[in-house]
Structure 1
Amino acid sequence: MRSTRMIIAVAALGASILSLAGCADTGPDAESSVAIGTSDRFSSYNTTTPSGSASGNADITTLTLSNFTSYDESLEVAPDTSFGTVEKISDDPLVVRYTVSDSATWSDGTPVGAADLLLDWAAHSGALNTADFDPTDYRAAVSDNGAADLPEDIVFFDSGARPDSGLGLASELPQLSDDGRSMTITYSHAITDWRIALPPPLPAHVVAQNALEVESHEDAAQAIIDAVSHEDFTALSKISSWWNTGFALENVDSPEETYLSSGPYVIDDIDSEKGITLSANPEYSGAHRPSIATVNVRYLDDPAAQVAAVENGDVDVISPQATPAVAEQLAALDDLTTLTGLVASFEHIDLQFGASANGTFDDPLVREAFLKTIPRKAIVEKLIEPIVGSKAQTRDSFVFTPGTSGYDESAAGAAFPAVDIAGAKALLDEAGTPKPEVCILYAANNPRRAAEFDMIAKSASQAGFSVTDCGTDHWRQLLGVPGKYDAAIFAWQSSSLGAVDSESRYATKARNNLNGYSSKTVDALFRDMSETEDAGEQSELLADVDSELRADFYGAPLYQFPSITAFDPDRIAGISPRVIAPSLTWNLWEWRSFE
């Protein structure tokens, strides 16, 4: 019989999420497999560049790249000592040492070591980036061509590193241990999120082999260490250029040689139109050894096609775009387990600052006028309420998740206005721009976003805005590219519960700051936030960020993301979606296949 339960709600972010039994030490049955139907396509192995920061990429790298820590079933930061250890050596100054375990190995047999850690530091601290380099033209060239070379001797790791935040505060060259297994970094200021500051390392020897044309694995790893340690800017320019774009699928000739794994699974095959096949990594001996030998990720863009595929047994599990139609289709099926609820991702519309297609929103009066036309409540009632019922609500904060501490106070302090067409017209008259043009970017192949665009465009036109449909299937490649659009509808996924998680979106030139917003006040608030461990003070600082974003008419949050996951319990077990990304695949090594 079909069963239904609610995913852990956003009000219980700290609550325990059930996790089923892990895998056996003997390894997976060679015949065991699971097929996942998804519309999220893999496009890059590097998830910390602007173009690579996508759910379809994180769903894969979660299974292939190990790290020192991850979030466990209770959403607590948990160490993975089978990969290595991260430990605080001193508080003043803050000194942190990373040590890779003796068993940590890349899937080509190369040990994970100092070169991988040092490249990770260089890329995410920005310490070696060329000062005052303006990446605007470079990023535009990357967007247009898929890859572009940096100017000679210009070093630029496009990770969104900032000198006053996170690893940007660890600008001194790290110390490497004699055995090549440890890296020690020193911060100029203390930060609260030091445990999760370093992203999963990428294979440094692969970067050097491609960027510097070094053949042997050992020599390539040493070339990275030499370039960083000696500040060889000629070599670093090539290294950073390749790091930025070399892991993008469109630029990879040999995925099996480029997409090396340090985690439980390794990528076997990639078809950009059909999907990805992963298999258990024979070189992996860590704590997340899988119980399923083969994972087939199949691309199905149409949510209805995903429902049909899981019903017919073509795939074992789906987590499609949650629309009323999908909810209705799944409700009619008796043999599936369906999990519904809300997750920490949220839909929003961002307005471009300073480099938009038409320059429409350079004037704050026009920004304010446009926000008065957005039918937030109607969008929720039509598109979200049929899925999750009474839990559907507009999201009224940029930085707080509904149900978490601080949300109610911040949302009540300056609630977003209801639709006010007369007020919008008055503001446009005051601005002297009666018919401003607004090109709105969104995923044209996403039914819910297409419906949102239609509702927003219809409402805005009543106030005099001339709205252009700039929806495209390739919307992600255009995000953040100057001159391409005036506003964008998409979602932010929260993959971290760190105190400054939202900094990457709203701080000046931060990695996920895609609309050119810049506020000295907001930047200072995030700096203060990174240095305090007092939860109450952090909440107050976040509330101040919320107020500043509203006052600047940054854009508008729309709603908390609904989620639907469906699977046949007779074929698969262990599936337990969580509220932060990756929601579905975070514990795939614990899944069990019955076929």
Structure 2
Amino acid sequence: MKITRFGAVAAAVGTGVLVLSGCSAPAAQDSGLDEGTSVNVAWNQAFYSYNGSTSFGNATANNNITSMTLSDFKYYDNTPELQKDTSFGTYELVSEDPMVVKYTVADDAVWSDGTAIDAGDLLLGWAANSRALDTPDFDPSEFTDPDTGEFTDDFPTDIVYFDSGAQPDTGLGLVQDVPEISEDGKSMTLTYTTPWVDWELDLPPMLPAHVVAKNALGIDDNAEAEDALVTAIQDNDAASLASISNFWNTGFNFTELPSDEELYLSSGPYVISDFQADQFITLTANEEYTGDRQPNIAEVTVRFIPDPNAAVSALENGEVDVISPQATTDVVEALDAIDSATVLTGSEGTYEHLDLQFENSKSGHFDDPKVREAFMKVIPRQEIIDKLIKPIVGDDATTRDSQIFVPGAEGYDDSIAGNGSDAYADVDVEGAKALLAEAGVTNPEVCILYASNNPRRVNEFQLIQSQAAEAGFNVTDCGSEDWGGLLGTPGAYDASLFGWQSTSLGVTSSGPTFQTGAINNLNFFSSPEADAVIAELGGEFDADAQIALQQELDKIIWDNYYGATIFQFPAVTAYNESAVTGIDPSILAPTIFWNITEWEVPAS
């Protein structure tokens, strides 16, 4: 086994937007694709949605795949630094006051069905991710299935609601007027109501407007369908937009290969070619792709292996060539025994946390802040570190004590000194009992949602359950293999145990998690003070002032008994160097997949 460390720059990541056998062949040529080559990669969660911009589909397991199939104007390398993909298109800051941004798609950029990518796709991206045309004051919670997290069949058909979590005072939500489209149909110009510091990160990868329109409006011709969608947006046609938003929300959710190939069109280097439920998804090189990120390997199969020990066995047996499992003591020891494995270790941009539901919980007990505070006092954070993390990374392992900053980042030490997290450094059973008595609550039930097929999460749940019982909490098991889709579902659970994976270095990246109603706000947290700080942060361009505002936000979150951060993930990636080379993980999502087009299959 060869061991290399990566992720030494993890401490530089202050915050991040929060979102799962090689054949022998001729040596890779500079010209690109090696026909007949393939690689198998293991991931711990199955793909289930092609739209990673919805509250349901926003998950690493989905965005890993779409990072290979949907082109974007920009991406992060593993420095990490933001890079522009000018082969797909360009964006520019036309004016600072007012802030005006122009996006232009490359002339030769096309979807995998040959349809040109153009301003219609851009305009749909704006409408969905600004929610500027949504029906005001609509609450979708009563139309969400508590068993799956998806919208139910009785979702109103006359409501315009794009499930992107966009807010009117942040990001694309600040672009309230319909953007201008250029005469050649390749550019879109946005005018912000106020300057926004992270404007470069606002527009996510686009979905095909003509596919959405064909399904939503019942039009067969690609060009006619997209023209109708553009007109509906420009005219604010509520009836058409209701159908368009409904399909955008749900039409790209699937757990096996759809019969309709248009539901997984690609604008990137790979296109989905096979998908077996709960087993694997296969991507092949996209023949229509003309961008710079040309792949070397013809076929990539991602196999879904939730158990990290099973992933190690699959690597050893040659069933997969690359794994990036959740690091446990057993995994590290097993990899140490595999001579053919090259192992990369380091830090991830992911942190473990336990969030408490402020509203719409299963039992309703956490509506009371005293009960939330009491439960936070019995989360055995240090015991989890001692028993589950120190055996992997050593005695230097510590709790993560900030909701905003990564340990080691500028501002972290000062923030944890004043954010109030020290009140939960040690378990305080008597303090929890006293708070429950003040609240007049006896033996409150707390059902925790977590990945039931993840060994480390099972161990964490058991440690929390045992410790909380001493204070009188009845912790019950809401664990599920389908936990990702259930997050944010009203009435499904009381607390959730999972990890947030950072996807960017945006200053405002905490907004989607902590702002009222935002896409990652899955526990119904709402604080006018937090909302005000997040809005102010978006317009602040001074680095020192940004840190001060983030520290203020950190304290507000802890003061509201939001839940508790636990630890920063240790990372381990292993691969068979005789089957594939070029593996060079990033601490940001999509981690190992960020440079998939640079991977190569060595000569036999």
**TM-score between the two structures when normalised by the length of structure 2:** 0.95
1:471 maps onto 2:476 in alignment: no
1:162 maps onto 2:170 in alignment: no
Which aligned pairs between 1:32-431 and structure 2 lie closer than 5 A? 32-140=37-145, 143=148, 148=153, 150-250=155-255, 253-254=258-259, 256-413=261-418, 414-416=420-422, 417=424, 418-431=426-439
Shift of 1:441: 1.0
1:434 maps onto 2:439 in alignment: no
**Where does the alignment leave 5 or more consecutive residues of structure 1 unmatched?**
15-21
Tell whether the 8 Å contact from 1:340 to 1:388 is kept in structure 2 after alignment. Answer: no
Residue of structure 1 in register with 2:467 after alignment: 459
Relative distance call for 1:323 and 1:437 in structure 2 (3 A) is: same
Tell whether the 8 Å contact from 2:179 to 2:191 is kept in structure 1 after alignment. Answer: yes
Q: 1:496 aligns with which of 497, 500, 504?
A: 504
Relative distance call for 1:312 and 1:485 in structure 2 (3 A) is: same
1:584 maps onto 2:592 in alignment: yes
Tell whether the 8 Å contact from 1:23 to 1:589 is kept in structure 2 after alignment. Answer: no
Shift of 1:487: 0.7
1:424-464 per-residue CA deviation (whole Å, 9 max, x = no partner) reads 11111121113111111111111111100000010000001
Tell whether the 8 Å contact from 1:256 to 1:268 is kept in structure 2 after alignment. Answer: no
Shift of 1:301: 2.1
SS in 2 for 1:433: coil
Relative distance call for 1:520 and 1:172 in structure 2 (3 A) is: same
Tell whether the 8 Å contact from 1:35 to 1:295 is kept in structure 2 after alignment. Answer: yes
Tell whether the 8 Å contact from 1:23 to 1:590 is kept in structure 2 after alignment. Answer: no
Shift of 1:127: 0.3
Tell whether the 8 Å contact from 1:160 to 1:509 is kept in structure 2 after alignment. Answer: yes
| Partner Cα distance (1:587, 1:56) in 2 | 17
Tell whether the 8 Å contact from 2:79 to 2:586 is kept in structure 1 after alignment. Answer: no
SS in 2 for 1:218: helix
Q: Counterpart amino acid of 2:228?
A: A
Relative distance call for 1:302 and 1:141 in structure 2 (3 A) is: closer
Question: Which shifted more, 111-120 or 272-281?
Answer: 272-281
| Partner Cα distance (1:547, 1:329) in 2 | 41
1:508 maps onto 2:513 in alignment: no
1:237-286 per-residue CA deviation (whole Å, 9 max, x = no partner) reads 00000100100015973253211110111111111121111011111111
Residue of structure 1 in register with 2:563 after alignment: 555
Relative distance call for 1:593 and 1:116 in structure 2 (3 A) is: same
Tell whether the 8 Å contact from 1:341 to 1:388 is kept in structure 2 after alignment. Answer: no
1:466-496 per-residue CA deviation (whole Å, 9 max, x = no partner) reads 1111111122222111111111101111101
Q: Counterpart amino acid of 2:10?
A: V
| Partner Cα distance (1:531, 1:146) in 2 | 34
Q: Counterpart amino acid of 1:2?
A: K
SS in 1 for 2:112: coil
Shift of 1:422: 1.1
Shift of 1:507: 0.4
Relative distance call for 1:275 and 1:428 in structure 2 (3 A) is: same
Residue of structure 2 in register with 1:19 after alignment: none
**Where does the alignment leave 5 or more consecutive residues of structure 2 unmatched?**
15-26
Which aligned pairs between 1:537-552 and structure 2 lie closer than 5 A? 537-552=545-560
Q: Counterpart amino acid of 2:263?
A: T
Relative distance call for 1:23 and 1:93 in structure 2 (3 A) is: farther
Question: Which shifted more, 324-333 or 519-528?
Answer: 324-333
SS in 1 for 2:591: coil
| Partner Cα distance (1:552, 1:260) in 2 | 43
| Partner Cα distance (1:8, 1:388) in 2 | 14
Tell whether the 8 Å contact from 1:347 to 1:560 is kept in structure 2 after alignment. Answer: yes
| Partner Cα distance (2:296, 2:152) in 1 | 38
1:7 maps onto 2:18 in alignment: no
Tell whether the 8 Å contact from 2:257 to 2:274 is kept in structure 1 after alignment. Answer: no
| Partner Cα distance (1:145, 1:177) in 2 | 37
| Partner Cα distance (1:289, 1:517) in 2 | 43
SS in 1 for 2:144: helix
The higher relative CO (CA closer than 8 Å, separation ≥ 6) is in 2
Relative distance call for 1:198 and 1:80 in structure 2 (3 A) is: same
SS in 2 for 1:593: coil
Q: Counterpart amino acid of 2:89?
A: G
Q: Counterpart amino acid of 2:373?
A: E
1:204-241 per-residue CA deviation (whole Å, 9 max, x = no partner) reads 11111111111111111112101101111111000000
Question: Which shifted more, 522-531 or 327-336?
Answer: 327-336
| Partner Cα distance (1:144, 1:539) in 2 | 35
Relative distance call for 1:251 and 1:59 in structure 2 (3 A) is: closer
| Partner Cα distance (1:281, 1:429) in 2 | 62
Question: Which shifted more, 99-108 or 391-400?
Answer: 391-400
1:87-143 per-residue CA deviation (whole Å, 9 max, x = no partner) reads 011111100000000111100000100110000000000100001111111234894
Residue of structure 2 in register with 1:536 after alignment: 544
Relative distance call for 1:460 and 1:143 in structure 2 (3 A) is: same
SS in 1 for 2:168: coil
| Partner Cα distance (1:313, 1:29) in 2 | 21
SS in 1 for 2:430: helix
Q: 2:456 aligns with which of 448, 455, 475?
A: 448
Question: Which shifted more, 169-178 or 299-308?
Answer: 299-308
| Partner Cα distance (1:252, 1:285) in 2 | 25
1:487 maps onto 2:492 in alignment: no
Question: Which shifted more, 293-302 or 184-193?
Answer: 293-302
Q: Counterpart amino acid of 2:432?
A: A
Query: Root-mean-square deviation (CA), in Å?
Result: 1.7
| Partner Cα distance (1:244, 1:116) in 2 | 15
| Partner Cα distance (2:155, 2:118) in 1 | 27
SS in 2 for 1:228: helix
| Partner Cα distance (1:40, 1:237) in 2 | 32
SS in 2 for 1:457: helix
| Partner Cα distance (2:466, 2:319) in 1 | 39
SS in 1 for 2:190: strand
Q: How many residues align?
A: 588
Shift of 1:5: 2.5
